[in-house]
A and B are shown apart, each in its own frame.
Chain A
Amino acid sequence: MRLTVNGNPIEIDAEAEMPLLWALRDLAGIKGPKFGCGIAACGACTVLVAGQPVRSCVLPLGQVEGDVTTIEGIGRPGALHAVQEAWIVEQVAQCGYCQAGQIMSAVALLDEIPNPSDADIDRTMGGNLCRCATYPKIRAAIKRAAASTGA
C-alpha cells in the first residue's frame, strides 16, 4: 500500500484494515502520533489527511484518501511551525504525551479559523484529552499562534 506521509512516498506492506496509526508507528517508524485509547476518544493519535484532522487509531489504511501529515511534517527543531513556537513560548507541555495530537488539532483549527474564539477552541480541542490538564496553557498557546500568524 502506498501512502504519502509528510511529503514522502512510503510503501506499507499491510492489510487494508490496519489503522493508519499503527502503520505509521510500527511499520514506518513515524512515532509522533501516539496511541492513547484506540477508540478515537483521546486525540493523541491525531494526524491530518488531505489537510483534515483524523484520529489515526481508527482510520483503516484502505480509507486513507490524500496525503498524510504528522507532527513530524509540520515543523522540526530549527524550523518550527508557528503553533509549535507558541507551545514553547507558553511552556505548554508537561508529560507531553498528548501534545502532538493537541498541536495537530490546533493546526487544523487555525487553518480554517485563523482567529478562534474560546468557543471555537473548545469545539475543536474537546476531543484531545490531557491528563496533566495543560488546558489553560493550550488555550493561551492557540491564541498566541493565532496572533503571530495573523500579524
Chain B
Amino acid sequence: MSRAGKITRRVFLGAAGAAAAGLAVGYYVYRRPFPNPLEAQAGEGEAVFNPFVKIPTEGPITVIVPRAEMGQGVTTTLAALIAEELDVRLDQVTVEHGPAASAYANIGMLEEGVPFPRFDDSTIAEMMRGGMGVVGRFLAMQATGGSSSTTDGFTRMRQAGALAREALKAQAARRWQVDAASLTTAEGFVTNPATGETVAYGELALDAARVDLTADPILRDPAEWKLLGRPQPRLDMEAKVTGAPIFGVDVDLPDMVFATIRMNPHFGGTIRTLDDAGSLAMPGVEKLVIIETHLGNGFGVIARSTWHAMRAADAVQVEWERPDRAVDDDAIWAGLEAAVAGRGSNFRDDGDVETVFADAPRERMVEAEYRVPFLAHAAMEPMNATARFRDGELDVWAPNQSPTLTRMACAREAGISQENCRVHTTSLGGAFGRRLEVDYAVYATRLAMETNGRPVKVTWTREEDMTHDMYRPAAMGRFRARLGEDGMPQALDMKIASPSIIASLLPRLYPRLPVPGSDTAIVDGSFNQPYSIANYRVSGVVADNPGVPVGFWRAVGNSFNGFFHEAFMDEIATAGGIDPVELRLSLMADHPAAVGVVEKVADMAEWSASLPANRAKGFAFATSFGSWVAEIVEISETEGRIRLEKVWIAADVGRALDPSIIEAQLMSGALFGLSAAMFEEVNFADGRAVQTNFHDYDPLRIHQSPDVEVAILQNAPKMGGVGEIGTPPAAPALANAIFALTGKRIRQLPLAREVDFA
C-alpha cells in the first residue's frame, strides 16, 4: 500500500486556490487533505501514486479522469495533462473515471459561480473566486459542468503526472546510485543518459509510490509540450464507433432484472388511484413498486426485459393527482410579464441610466421585448441508472455529472451512510446539464430496495425523459437603449425575468436547505459582456414559477442572455446606422481578446463582401465561461424556406489544450444553440409538458445543419472553458441574419414560429 508523500499532499491542496487564506474559515480545516480514494482499492502489484495515477508492475498505466465523459472529450484531454508530465504516450494509458470522492471535487466550477464578470480581475472578484473555492472544498462536490473540467484540472492533473514522474526518477536514482536530476524520462521508461541504462516505470512503481519527495516538481514549460496544444486522437473513439457497451443503459450484471418507471407528469402530484392487476398478469413481469419521493411520485415495473417492463407500465391503470396550481403557458407567461414589470436586482449599473433616459427623445430610443421558451435537454441516452442493494451496501451505476451528489442522494434514499454507497460513473450518452440531477439514480435505488439484492437496471422511456426534465427556464427581457447623435449607444438598460434555477435545484438536492432569493443565471451573459457603454444597467428578476422544475442546460443563463444581448445589440446597430461588426469593435476596444475574435470571424466570413439578394449574414459575440467567441451565420432563402449555409466561429480560449476537441466542441455548441433557436420549445398545458418525444420535439438534423468553420485563438490571458461557449452567440447570429435577409426582427424563439426552414 502506498502513502502520499508530504509534497503530494501540499501540492494538491495548493491547487484549491491560495486566496482562501484571508477568509474567515478554518485555515487548518481547509488545508486538511482529502483521503486518496484509490488507496482502499489498489490491486495486487498496483502502485497508487496519488488520486490520479496508478502504475501496475506490468501493463498499461491507469489514470483517473474524475469527470463525466459526455462527449466533450474530457477523458482524452485530462489524460493528456497527466501523460504530458508523466512522460508516457496516450496509448500507454487506460482511463478510469474512478469512484465518487471529495479528492475529485471540482473547484473551478464553483469558482465561476460568483456574480463577477470573468474578465474582472479586481481584488474583490479574486477574493470571491477564492472564497467559492473554499466553499467548493467544504461541499467537496465532484461534478462536471460550467465548462470547467480543463481549467479545474489544468494544474492539478499535470501535478499528478509530474509527482509520479519525479517519484519514479527518485526510485531509479536510488537504484542506480545517481542524482535523480541527471535522469530522463520518456514513453514509460527512466533512462540514465550517462550509462544508457533504462528501466520501465512498472518495475519501479511499487517502491516509487512510497518515495517522499523533498521538492515541488516543476511543471514543464508549454514550449516543451509533446501532447498538449496538439490534436490527440480521442481515447474513446474506437469504443464509440464499434458499439462498445460503455453507457449507462449498457450496464450488465449477473442476475440483473430490468425496470422502467412512470412518474406523475403533473409536477408535484401524487398517485390518486392505481390498478396494476392487468399489468402484473402480463408475461415476464415481476413486480410493481410505488415510488414516493420529494422528487416525484409514481411507480416502477420490474420485469425480465426493459420492453416487458415498459409494456406492463403502459397497462397500469393510474389516475394521477393534479396539484391545484395551474401550470400552463398562459400562467407561466403571466408570471414572467409581471416579473419583468417589477423591480429587479442590478447586477451591473454603470453611469446613471435613469437620468440619461429621462430626457431621451423618442427618435433616439430603441425599445424591445424578447422571449425564449422552456427547453428540454433531450440527451440521446434516456435517463437511466442501475442499482444493487445488498447487505446494507448500495452500488449505483449511473451516467451522471456528479458522483458525490448521486452518492449523497442515493444513500439518503436507502437510509444508509455514504460510506456504504458506491457510485460507478459510466460514459454519458449526452447530458447538457440534465445529468447533474439525481432523480434517475434515486428512483433506481428505490427499486433496488425491492429486488432482494438483485441488481435492477431502470431505463426511462423517451416520454418519461421529456416530460420529467429539469427544463431550461423560459425567460423574458425588456430592453431599451438611447443612441447619441453618432448612432452609438449612450445608455443601455436591460431587465430580464426568469424562474430561478438554483431555487428549483437546491430543494431537489437538499430538501431542508433555505432557497436563495436571487440567481445570477438570470442575467448571466447579459450583465457581464465586455462592452463599454457609459450608462449600462442589467437587472434580473426572479419570476414566479408555478412548479416547473428548471435546471442547468448547456451555457445555462448564457443560453438565452446571448440571444437577448446580441439580438438587441443588432437592433442598436440598425437603429444607429452602424455596421454590427464595427459597433462591437468600437464598444469592446478595451478588450483585445474580444476585438481579436470579432476581427477574425469577420475576416473568415468576408463580412464586408456583398452577397446575392437571397443571402445574408448575421453576427453575434459572447464571452462566457472565460472564453471569447464571435460567430457569423450565413443563410439563404429559396421558395420561402430558409437554409443555414455556413457558420464561422472564432474563439479565444486563452490556451488550447487540444485544438481538435475544442473545434468539435465549438461546432457542437453552436449547432446545439441553433437547434434550439430554430425548432425547440417545451409548452405546458393542463399541468404538464406537452411535448413527449422526437415527433414533436425535433431538434436539428443533418439536412438542416450548416457547414461550420472554426478558428481558435490563444491571446486571452486566462484559459477559458470550451464545452458551452459556442452556444450563446448562435441564436442571435441566426436571428440577426434573418433580419438582414427579410427585414423581420424576430424577438421570440423558436424562430420556426415565424419562418420556415428548409
Report A's interface with B, CB cutoff 8 A: 14-15, 18-19, 21-23, 25-27, 29, 31-39, 41-42, 44, 70-72, 75-77, 80, 84, 87-88, 91-100, 103, 121-123, 125-126, 128-139
Assuming the contacts A31-B243, A88-B238, A132-B71, asked whether A22 and B305 have C-beta atoms less than 8 A apart, the reply is: yes
Q: Once the chains bind, are B432 and A72 in contact (CB under 8 Å)?
A: no
**Which of B187-195, B268-276, B363-371, B376-384 participates in binding chain A?**
B376-384
Q: Within the complex, what minimum Cβ distance (angstroms) separates B251 from chain A?
A: 9
Given A39-B694, A41-B694, A133-B705: A31 and B245 interface contact (C-beta under 8 Å): yes
Q: Indicate with 1 or 0, residue by residue over B7-24, a CB within 8 angstroms of chain A CB atoms.
A: 000000000000000000
Offer 11 A-B interface pairs, CB within 8 angstroms, sorted by A.
A22-B305, A26-B304, A26-B305, A32-B244, A94-B668, A97-B247, A97-B381, A97-B430, A129-B694, A131-B430, A133-B672
Q: Which of B32-40, B581-589, B695-703 contacts A (4 or more CB under 8 A)?
A: B695-703
B429 adjacent to A125 (CB under 8 Å)? no
Question: Which chain B residues border A76 with CB–CB below 8 Å?
Answer: 242
A91 and B661 CA atoms in complex are apart in Å by: 9
Are A136 and B243 neighbours in the complex by a CB distance under 8 Å? no
Contact among B249, B378, B668, B675 with A34 in the assembled complex (CB-CB below 8 Å): B249
Which of A27, A126, A133 makes the CB contact (< 8 A) with B671?
A133
A22: chain B residues at CB < 8 Å are 305-307
> How distant is the Cα of A37 from the Cα of B432 in the complex, in angstroms?
18
Secondary structure at chain A's binding surface: helix, strand, loop or mixed? Answer: loop
The answer on a CB contact under 8 Å between A96 and B283 is: no
Instruction: Map CB proximity to A onto B239-266 as digits: 1 under 8 Å, 0 otherwise.
Output: 1111111110110100000100000000
Is B233 among interface residues, defined by CB-CB distance under 8 A?
yes
State how many angstroms separate the Cβ of A143 from the closest Cβ of chain B.
13
Given contacts A26-B304, A80-B241, A135-B700, 8 further A-B contacts (CB under 8 A): A25-B306, A31-B243, A34-B249, A34-B380, A88-B241, A92-B241, A131-B378, A131-B699
Cα of A29 to Cα of B253 in the assembled complex, Å: 11
What's the minimum C-beta distance from A46 to chain B, rounded to whole angstroms? 11
B249 touches A35 (CB 8 A): yes
Contact (Cβ within 8 A) A71 B242: yes
Among B242, B244, B306, the residue within 8 A (CB) of A26 is: B306
B700 A133 Cβ-Cβ under 8 A: yes
Chain B residue at minimal CB-CB distance from A125: B702
With A39-B462, A42-B694, A135-B702 known as contacts, the answer to whether A95 contacts B671 (CB < 8 A) is no
- Binary A-proximity of B415-430 (CB < 8 A = 1, otherwise 0): 0000000000001111
List the 7 closest pairs (A to B, CB-CB), nearest first. Answer: A32-B243, A97-B429, A96-B240, A95-B71, A94-B71, A133-B671, A71-B243
A contact residues around B695 at 8 Å (CB): 39, 41
Whether B241 lies near A39 (C-beta < 8 A) is: no
Residues of B within 8 A of A39 (CB): 462, 693-695
B671 cross-chain contacts in A, Cβ below 8 A: 133, 135
Residue-wise interface mask of B (666-678) relative to A, using a CB-CB cutoff of 8 A (1 in contact, 0 not): 0110011001000
Which of B304, B427, B664, B694 touches A137 (beta carbons < 8 Å)?
Answer: B664
CB of A41 within 8 A of CB of B702, answer no
Bound: A93/B380 CA distance, A? 13
Taking a contact as CB atoms under 8 Å apart, the answer to whether A37 and B672 are in contact is: no
* Cβ-defined contact, B305 with A18, below 8 A: yes
Residues of B with C-beta under 8 A to A35? 249, 306, 382, 459
Shortest beta-carbon distance, A122 to chain B, in Å?
Answer: 4
Whether A128 lies near B694 (C-beta < 8 A) is no
| Total chain B interface residues with beta-carbon distance under 8 A | 63
Cβ-defined contact, A34 with B381, below 8 A: yes
Task: Please name all residues of chain B whose beta carbon is closer than 8 Å to the beta carbon of A25 when the two chains form the complex.
Answer: 249, 306
Q: Which residues of A contact B73 (CB under 8 A)?
A: 94
Structural contact, B71 and A36, CB atoms closer than 8 A: no
Query: What total count of A-B pairs have CB within 8 Å?
Result: 182
Q: Does B345 contact A (CB under 8 A)?
A: no
Q: With A76-B242, A91-B233, A98-B380 as known contacts, state yes or no: A138 contacts B702, CB within 8 Å.
A: yes
Prevailing SS type, chain B contact patch:
loop
In the complex, the answer to whether B380 meets A122 with C-beta atoms within 8 Å is no
Residue of B nearest to A33 (CB): B243
Are B243 and A37 in contact, CB atoms less than 8 angstroms apart?
no
Residues of A within 8 A of B183 (CB): none
The residue on A at minimum CB distance from B431 is A95
Return chain A residues, CB-CB under 8 Å to B698: 41
Least distance between A20 CB and chain B CB atoms (Å): 10
Chain A: CB-nearest residue to B695: A41
B708 at the interface (CB under 8 A from A): yes
- From B381, B703, B707, A136 is in contact (CB under 8 Å) with B707
Instruction: Give the residues in chain A near B707, CB-CB below 8 Å.
Output: 136
Contact A80 B699 (CB under 8 A): no
- In the bound assembly, the distance between CA atoms of A15 and B284 in angstroms comes to 10
> A residues within 8 A CB of B382?
35-36
Given A91-B237, A94-B668, A133-B672, answer yes or no on A36-B462 (Cβ-Cβ < 8 Å).
yes
Q: Decide if A84 touches B71 in the complex (CB within 8 Å).
A: no
A77-B242, A122-B703 given; A91·B660 CB < 8 A: yes
- Report Cα–Cα, A3/B308, bound state, in Å: 19
**Interface membership of B234, Cβ < 8 A:** yes
A88/B233 contact (C-beta < 8 A), A35-B249, A36-B462 known = yes
Q: Are A88 and B237 in touch, CB under 8 angstroms?
A: yes
Residues of B within 8 A of A122 (CB): 702-703
Closest to A124 in B: B702
Q: Chain A contacts of B737 at CB under 8 A? A: none
Question: In the complex, what residues of B have CB within 8 A of residue A123's CB?
Answer: 703
B72 within 8 A of A: yes
Q: Which of A23, A39, A131, A138 has the most CB of B within 10 A?
A: A131
A72 / chain B contacts, CB cutoff of 8 Å? 242-243
B569 lies within 8 A of chain A by Cβ: no
Closest beta carbon of chain A to B346's beta carbon, Å: 36
Q: Is the CB of A131 within 8 A of B432?
A: yes
A93 to B250, CA, bound (A): 18
Q: Is A129 a contact partner of B380 (Cβ separation < 8 A)?
A: yes
Q: For A95, what are the chain B residues with a Cβ–Cβ distance below 8 Å? A: 69-71, 379-381, 427-431
List B contacts of A14 (CB < 8 A). 305
How many angstroms between the C-alpha atoms of A96 and B242 in the bound complex?
10
- Given the known interface contacts A95-B71, A133-B671, A136-B667, the answer about A84 and B242 at a Cβ–Cβ threshold of 8 Å is yes
A96 with B250: CB separation less than 8 A = no
Q: Which residue of B lies closest to A87 (CB)?
A: B241
Q: Does B461 contact A (CB under 8 A)?
A: yes
Contacts of A37 in B (CB 8 A): 462, 693-694
Q: Which A residues are in CB contact (< 8 Å) with B238?
A: 77, 80, 88
Contact between chains at A42 and B380 (CB < 8 Å): yes
Is B349's CB within 8 Å of the partner chain A?
no
Instruction: Decide if B236 is an interface residue (CB 8 Å cutoff).
Output: yes
Contact A84 B306 (CB under 8 A): no
List which B547-603 residues lie within 8 A (CB) of chain A: none
Cα A42 to Cα B459 with chains together (Å): 17
Q: Which of A23, A129, A132, A139 contacts B668 (CB 8 A)?
A: A132
On whether the beta carbons of A131 and B380 are closer than 8 Å, the reply is yes
Complex: how many Å from CA A126 to CA B707?
A: 16
Out of A21, A34, A135, name the residue touching B705 (CB < 8 Å): A135
Residue of A with least CB distance to B671: A133
- What CA separation (Å) do A91 and B238 show in the bound complex? 10
Once the chains are docked, how many angstroms separate the CA of A96 from the CA of B381?
10
Return the contact of B429 from the options A23, A32, A91, A96 (Cβ within 8 A).
Answer: A96
Measured between beta carbons, the chain B residues less than 8 angstroms from A138 are: 702
Alpha-carbon gap, A42 to B73, bound state (A):
23
Give the residues in chain B near A99, CB-CB below 8 Å: 240-241
Minimum Cβ distance to chain B for residue A16 (Å): 12
B461: chain A residues within 8 A (beta carbon): 38
In the bound assembly, the distance between CA atoms of A98 and B382 in angstroms comes to 12
What are the residues of chain B within 8 A of A96 when measuring CB–CB? 71, 236, 239-241, 246, 427, 429
* Complex Cα gap A32–B308 (Å): 20
- Supposing A37-B694, A84-B242 touch, asked if A133 and B667 sit within 8 A by C-beta, the answer is yes
